[in-house]
């Protein structure tokens, strides 16, 4: 079957959890700054640390 299509990389899941626990909220804007230190902590390449969609649809925020 297509078991591998549903698999998620554990380090990316841990990173997503970190983002959700530590994002900033200013008015209706949510953001999270991914420093090189955080990238190194979660062993992420530059293109793996840009999933801003994880902050979508939180509360009444318009921008993330």
Q: How confident is the model at residue 13 (pLDDT cuts 50, 70, 90)?
A: very high
Q: How confident is the model at residue 61 (pLDDT cuts 50, 70, 90)?
A: confident
46 backbone dihedrals φ, ψ, rounded to 5°: -55, -45
For residue 25, the surrounding DSSP H or E stretch is strand 24-26
Those residues whose C-beta lies under 8 Å from the C-beta of residue 48, and which sit 6 or more positions away, are 12, 15
pLDDT at 10 over 80: yes
Tokens of 33: 């700054």
């Amino acid at each position: 079957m297509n078991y591998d299509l549903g698999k998620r990389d554990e380090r990316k899941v841990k990173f997503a959890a970190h983002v959700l626990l530590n994002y900033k909220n200013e008015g209706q804007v949510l953001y999270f700054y991914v420093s090189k230190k955080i990238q190194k902590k979660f062993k992420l390449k530059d293109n793996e640390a840009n999933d801003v969609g994880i902050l979508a649809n939180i509360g009444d925020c318009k921008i993330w």
